[in-house]
Structure 1
Amino acid sequence: MAPSEKVIIIGAGVSGLVLAQILRQGGIPYEIYDRDDGTNWQGWAISLDRCLQSLYPLLPSDIQDPAQASPNYGSGKADGFWIVNGVTHDFLGVTENAPRGHPDSMIHANRDHFRKIFMQNIQIQFGKTFEKYEEGKDGVIEVFFTDGTSTKGTILVGADGSSSKVRQQLLNGFKASPSKYTSILGSVTVNEELCAKLLGQSNSGLLVADRDQKANCLVMDHNPDGTSLFCWVLAYKVAEYEKEQAWARTATPEALFEKAKERTAHWPEFMRDTVSKTGPEGMYRPFRLLETVLEKDELPKGRITLLGDAMHSMLPFRGMGANTGISGACLLGKSLLDGLKQGTSVDDILRVYEREWIPKSREVVLESRAAGAGDENHDLSGGRIENGGP
């Protein structure tokens, strides 16, 4: 790749940042843009395991270990979750809890901490909202932003989330499909006694479910005073789901709080206590759960491709969203590093990446959908109970 050529990444979420670090490590010129200012909330936590063996060998040596994004990093405790039946309150199992360095280890990462690690030594151009791109006959892609500026490159990667504007142009207006689930979410600081109950037989928190609703309650930080910050997300579905989602988007914090208490009234006491202690002041604006299922195994010919939720947004019921996004970034990054070194054409590199990753990621999206639809609470582990470490 000539010095004047570069990869343009739209979106500085988890997948876009990982790709940027891999390209930086490999000496491939890139630019990364994001519409936000770098401080906007992008969610609480991500759980990483399936992607780690691909990720670590590709990272630059001048950034922190991603494991430092875990609330348990300082204590050396292994990350993992326990699973509870919301109806019977039965304990169903523990995911992994393998020690760090073990092939089956997990990183339960505070998303904000994780992004800050992957922002190190990268110049992100914030406040740049993608408007459109144009492909020239010479293979150069010009990207235009809503502020009237533009940039040129040889490859365009749309890593701009489940509502990707790059994808909409590339696939003639394609949009992600809304799920039937409504989300309610909150955060709360708890004392040591309640923290111990929430952690149970794990170090990171719990997953709990019954028919038509699922939730997680995860530790985000352990504070010096002995308290701990937890986040929880409840996703539920009702027959008139469009009406329910419209209600949630405009409901007051007080109304969301009352709904959460109502939906969890039959759950274990420590979960009811956690929701109650959250109060209206701890409630967040619900987010829309979207699914992206690409039907074809290749994108249109050219030097534009997709990454992360732009390719495969999914329901958060198996802990596979970030895993899949980062694995895709590793595959795309390594394909570019190896392919360009060998003189393979950009078009061929991108098509090979897509033919491998679109069907794989589509399968994960559908498995996450099935976990949401099923009554088997073990599905929430994504197979980790059966395949976990010691």
Structure 2
Amino acid sequence: MTSTTQPRILIIGGGIGGLCLAQGLRRAGVPVTVHERTRARTDWLQGYRIHINPRGSRALRDCLDPANWQTFVDTVSTVGGGFAFVTEHLRTLVELDEELVNKGSTDPADRHHGVSRITLREVLLNGMSDVVRFGSTFQRYETTPDGRVTAYFEDGTSDTADLLVGADGANSRVRGQLLPHAHRVDTGVLAVAGKYRLTDASRRELPAELTTRANNVLPLGPGSLFTAVWSGDRRTAAVPTTADSGLLYDPTADYAFWGYADEATRFPDSGRLDGYTGERLRQVVLDRIRRWSPDLRRLVAGSDPDTVNVVRIRSASPVDPWPTGPVTLLGDAIHNMTPMAGIGANTALRDADLLRRQLIAVRDGGRALAPAVAEYERQMLDYGFAAVRLSLRNARQAGSANPVARAAFRGLLRTAGAVPALKRRMFADIGN
């Protein structure tokens, strides 16, 4: 690895983390190129919204130029309504209002936000036409005798830089070459999720608890259900849509989201549901929650079947530090985690901001490239795999069928709901 004070950076993958890093480096004047395998910005459409917590918001603010940051603020919708743990009969165990969740802050960088993945990626692509190379599929890399790295692509082209950043997702080819021993494990948990469109009429079909806040439903028996409310982006960022995009890919629609999780073996066909239609998946969940609150059943039954899908929950195995070189990793490419903590995207944004700051220090002559990347990797592995452990713990709890443990946890939450000081202590770090 060279010690140049003006390093050139290659980023493999144009997802949220890779583009956030590219935005920050471009703004700082550090030469950067993103190689993205999709052929157009409209090829990458992911229909579910994501939660951006204050740490993710601050990373975006610090990486984006002021105009792009304002576009983000203008487009997102606030989650609103707070969060609650409830029983399967929709009885509240403990509720965290919006004031507690956002700690009273009015600064957008210190608040929680909801945003469609489509809109966020459009924000991150703004002003990047000279940086992002679409249709560039990474194949492999080689280190050069002078300590640099050359990336080779399937179209026969190559690109050389001082640092290659693998931001190419959970099935990362960069990770496969750099850390062939690193892999993801099947947690044994399966999740089925869907969307319920919220209109004036459909809102009246559900209680306020399901249309104004997020809920974690904790039954005494097996399985669990998460619900959240997303209002459409207040303004889109030239988001690509098509006439048949439907609710799944409509970033302007209001909807209630739900996700049911349990051990795969407790689903029909031992969890081999990949061939099931949306209607059949919806019925599977209705069968699982047939003794739950009629309002929860109404939420699932009223969902658009085109939005219902199944996900097998996987998680990255722990990775020991590796010798620092001209190749590193970011986001899901290294610490892919379950969605059960809602922090995967935020952890990738944190990676992007941390690596950006380290590389700016190199540009400014404050440190050499190798120590800067080593410091990034040290911190990233620490907090990244702490997030993996938290999300994995939550996934295993979602699939737990231990009624004693469930009852004890519900009792603790009820106590916290009745004792404000305990509630504040228990949830002091929410979203950070």
Q: Which residue of 2 aligns with 1:83?
A: 84
Residue type of the alignment partner of 1:27: G
Q: Which residue of 2 aligns with 1:117?
A: 123
Which of 50, 62, 65 does residue 67 from structure 2 map onto? 62
Which of 240, 247, 256 does residue 230 from structure 1 map onto? 256
- List runs of 5+ in structure 2 lacking aligned partners: 236-251, 398-405, 414-422
In our comparison, the structure showing a higher alpha carbon Rg is: 2
Of all paired residues, the percent bearing the same amino acid is 24
Corresponding position: 1:50 with 2:74: no
Q: Distance in 1 between matches of 2:394 and 2:128?
A: 37
Name which of structure 1's ranges 184-193 and 13-22 shifts more when overlaid on structure 2: 184-193
- List runs of 5+ in structure 1 lacking aligned partners: 73-77
Q: Distance in 1 between matches of 2:133 and 2:286?
A: 41
Q: Cα offset for 1:347? A: 1.5
Q: Which residue of 1 aligns with 2:291?
A: 266
Task: Assess if the C-alpha contact under 8 Å between 1:110 and 1:220 holds in 2.
Answer: no
| TM-score computed with the length of structure 1 as normaliser | 0.85
- Count the aligned residue pairs: 378
Q: Cα offset for 1:339? A: 2.8
Q: Cα offset for 1:315? A: 1.5
> Aligned ranges for residues 1-390 of structure 1 at < 5 Å?
6-36=8-38, 37-38=40-41, 39-48=43-52, 49-65=54-70, 66-72=72-78, 79=80, 81-91=82-92, 92-94=94-96, 96-97=101-102, 98-101=104-107, 105-123=111-129, 124-192=132-200, 194-195=202-203, 197=206, 200=209, 203=212, 205-210=214-219, 211-221=222-232, 228-239=254-265, 244-245=270-271, 247-284=272-309, 286-296=310-320, 298-374=321-397, 375=406, 376=409, 385-387=427-429
Q: Distance in 1 between matches of 2:80 and 2:426?
A: 13
Task: Assess if the C-alpha contact under 8 Å between 1:51 and 1:323 holds in 2.
Answer: yes
Change in Cα spacing, 1:54 to 1:281, as seen in structure 2 (3 Å) is: closer
Q: Distance in 2 between matches of 1:335 and 1:384?
A: 34
Q: Distance in 1 between matches of 2:112 and 2:228?
A: 17
Change in Cα spacing, 1:222 to 1:309, as seen in structure 2 (3 Å) is: closer
Q: Distance in 2 between matches of 1:198 and 1:52?
A: 31
Task: Assess if the C-alpha contact under 8 Å between 2:5 and 2:368 holds in 1.
Answer: no
Task: Assess if the C-alpha contact under 8 Å between 1:156 and 1:305 holds in 2.
Answer: yes
Task: Assess if the C-alpha contact under 8 Å between 1:157 and 1:305 holds in 2.
Answer: yes
1:333-356 deviations in Å (ceiling 9; x for gaps): 111112331252221111111111
Q: Distance in 1 between matches of 2:268 and 2:161?
A: 41
Q: Distance in 2 between matches of 1:162 and 1:15?
A: 12
Name which of structure 1's ranges 135-144 and 54-63 shifts more when overlaid on structure 2: 54-63
Residue type of the alignment partner of 2:227: N
1:120-140 deviations in Å (ceiling 9; x for gaps): 111322222221111111122
Q: Distance in 2 between matches of 1:162 and 1:24?
A: 25
Task: Assess if the C-alpha contact under 8 Å between 2:186 and 2:313 holds in 1.
Answer: yes
Q: Secondary structure of 1:355's match?
A: helix
Q: Cα offset for 1:32? A: 0.8
Q: Distance in 1 between matches of 2:207 and 2:335?
A: 31
Q: Distance in 2 between matches of 1:349 and 1:2?
A: 12
Structure (1 or 2) with the greater helix fraction: 2
Residue type of the alignment partner of 1:293: S
Residue type of the alignment partner of 2:160: K
Task: Assess if the C-alpha contact under 8 Å between 1:185 and 1:232 holds in 2.
Answer: yes
Change in Cα spacing, 1:13 to 1:223, as seen in structure 2 (3 Å) is: closer
Task: Assess if the C-alpha contact under 8 Å between 2:5 and 2:362 holds in 1.
Answer: no
Residue type of the alignment partner of 1:339: V
